[in-house]
């Protein structure tokens, strides 16, 4: 049975270009790039070239690009840096729909000094409300993601960056779900930008962070002088080259498949709700509230047919209570039990999307029969 993967927001399969770059670097560029001999200087040159290619894509100076292990590390490091360098009573603004790696780091380092940013009716940061807060309160920094991993809802991050810059407020944008899906133009207007290779077809455990143009005293890991002293640790050159290869071929996608899926799905199951239907969303994501049956039953029934979908953030599945993102958007607790997230990527076709719609309709019949059977069993006992 063919597996149809619909959980790209959790992680994407490795792109062939990334695999080729990784294999060739693993064979050929395995020396420590900081070693003193010429052969290692060649590895260092590849690393520098990879940094220049990333800098070119974001249109920033190469010194702003730091390679690391991914977005969780970078998000934590930024809040740790702010906690260490901002005044002891400084408050920061954070969107309540951030990824757990931002929410937890913000709470850990700033506790009561976090101001939760208001959302608009579409579940994005309310820019007008943010402007008011920036005028009224002394926020020292603001963190707002580019695109949400659960709902796909996009923040108006250009307006957020402009509003903060006008007030001289430091900014961070977790762009993990944006990078590789939508144009990178403009992200450089944030002081800090974080991203993860495995979200766009690069390897896991590799990521990137853009730092402020001026030296900020940022230090993510202490130790050796790798990454200009911003992040100690021997660089994973093969992983970094694979990440850059994936980023360079990342196509800007189209919503055609997702929208055809939604049309077909709602013909079969008209009472399926789509979170953020009216909002600007990632082209690859649909967060559904199913009319009946718990998420886990849908996930299992779909997996039996070869479709892998999720119930929201992979980081929270089975480990935490209801999604803080959906709670912040006012989704009722009962509805959260019936959520399905489907997200596509570079290897998904429109035919895959249509097959998923058909499979969901089949699962609905199967789950309804199961429920009818279990009800009749209860009666007969």
Judged by the rule CB under 6 A, the positions of this chain that interact with ligand PLP are 70-72, 99, 101, 145, 149, 174, 176-177, 196, 207, 315
Yes or no: say if 275 and 121 are a contact pair by the CB < 8 Å rule. no
Based on CB atoms, which residue is closest to ligand PLP, 178 or 293?
A: 178
Q: How far is the CB of 177 from ligand PLP (least distance, A)?
A: 5
> Among all residues, whose Cβ is closest to ligand PLP?
70
- Residues in a beta bridge with 207: 68, 196
**Residue 369 is a catalytic residue:** no
CB of 69 to ligand PLP, least distance (A): 7
CA distance 246 to 229: 26
The count of other CB atoms within 10 Å of the CB of residue 140 is 19
In the complex, least distance from residue 282 CB atom to ligand PLP, rounded to whole angstroms: 11
**H or E stretch covering 238:** helix 237-249
Return all residues near 84 (Cβ < 8 A) that are at least 6 apart: none
Q: How far is the CB of 288 from ligand PLP (least distance, A)?
A: 18
Cα-based torsion angle of the residue sequence 306, 307, 313, 318 in order, rounded to the nearest 10 degrees: -40
CB of 9 to ligand PLP, least distance (A): 6
Tell me how far apart the alpha carbons of residues 1 and 356 are, in angstroms, rounded to a whole number. 14
Find the catalytic residue in 164, 173, 209, 315: 315
In angstroms and rounded to an integer, the radius of gyration of the C-alpha atoms of the chain is 22
Q: Toward ligand PLP, which CB reaches closer, 64 or 181?
A: 181
Which tokens in the block code for residue 45?
């040159």
Q: Which is nearer to ligand PLP, 200 or 298 (CB)?
A: 200
Tell me which residue has tokens 């890991």: 221
Query: What phi and psi, each to the nearest 5 degrees, are found at residue 140?
Result: -90, -25
**Helix 16-28 vs helix 237-249: crossing angle, to nearest 10:** 150
d(CA 53, CA 362): 46
Smallest distance, ligand PLP to C-beta of residue 275, A: 16
- Nearer to ligand PLP by Cβ, of 149 and 220: the residue is 149
Axis-axis angle for helices 237-249, 38-58 (nearest 10):
30
Virtual torsion, Cα 56, 198, 81, 173, nearest 10 deg: 60
Pick between residue 99 and residue 172 the one whose CB is nearest to ligand PLP.
99
Give catalytic residues, as residue numbers: 315
């Amino acid at each position: 049975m063919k597996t149809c993967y619909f959980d790209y927001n959790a992680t994407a399969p490795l792109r062939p270009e990334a695999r080729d770059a990784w294999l060739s670097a693993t064979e050929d560029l395995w020396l420590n790039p900081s070693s003193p001999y010429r052969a290692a200087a060649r590895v260092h040159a590849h690393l520098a070239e990879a940094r220049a290619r990333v800098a070119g894509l974001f249109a920033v100076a190469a010194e702003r690009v730091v390679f690391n292990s991914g977005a969780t590390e970078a998000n934590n490091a930024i809040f740790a840096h702010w906690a260490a360098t901002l005044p002891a009573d400084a408050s920061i603004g954070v969107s309540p729909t951030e990824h757990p790696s931002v929410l937890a780091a913000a709470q850990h380092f700033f506790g009561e000094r976090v101001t939760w940013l208001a959302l608009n009716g579409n579940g994005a940061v309310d820019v007008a409300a943010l402007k008011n807060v920036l005028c009224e309160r002394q926020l020292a920094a603001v963190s707002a993601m580019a695109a949400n991993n659960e709902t796909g809802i996009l923040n108006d991050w250009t307006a957020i960056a402009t509003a903060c810059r006008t007030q001289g407020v430091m900014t961070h944008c977790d762009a993990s779900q944006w990078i590789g899906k939508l144009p990178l133009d403009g992200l450089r207007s944030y002081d800090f930008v974080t991203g993860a290779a495995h979200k766009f077809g690069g390897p896991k455990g590799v990521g990137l962070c853009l730092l402020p143009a001026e030296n900020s005293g940022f230090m993510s890991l202490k130790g050796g002088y790798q990454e200009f002293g911003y992040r100690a640790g021997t660089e994973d050159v093969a992983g970094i080259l694979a990440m850059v290869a994936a980023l360079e071929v990342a196509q800007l996608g189209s919503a055609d498949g997702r929208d055809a899926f939604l049309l077909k799905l709602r013909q079969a199951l008209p009472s399926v709700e789509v979170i953020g239907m009216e909002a600007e969303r990632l082209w690859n994501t649909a967060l559904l509230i199913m009319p009946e049956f718990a998420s886990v039953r849908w996930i299992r029934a779909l997996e039996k047919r070869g479709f892998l979908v999720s119930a929201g953030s992979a980081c929270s599945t089975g480990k935490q209570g209801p999604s803080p993102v959906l709670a912040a958007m006012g989704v009722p607790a009962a509805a959260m039990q019936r959520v399905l997230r489907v997200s596509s990527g570079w290897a998904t076709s429109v035919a895959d999307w249509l097959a998923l719609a058909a499979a969901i309709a089949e699962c609905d019949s199967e789950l309804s029969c199961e429920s009818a059977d279990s009800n009749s069993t209860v009666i007969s006992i």
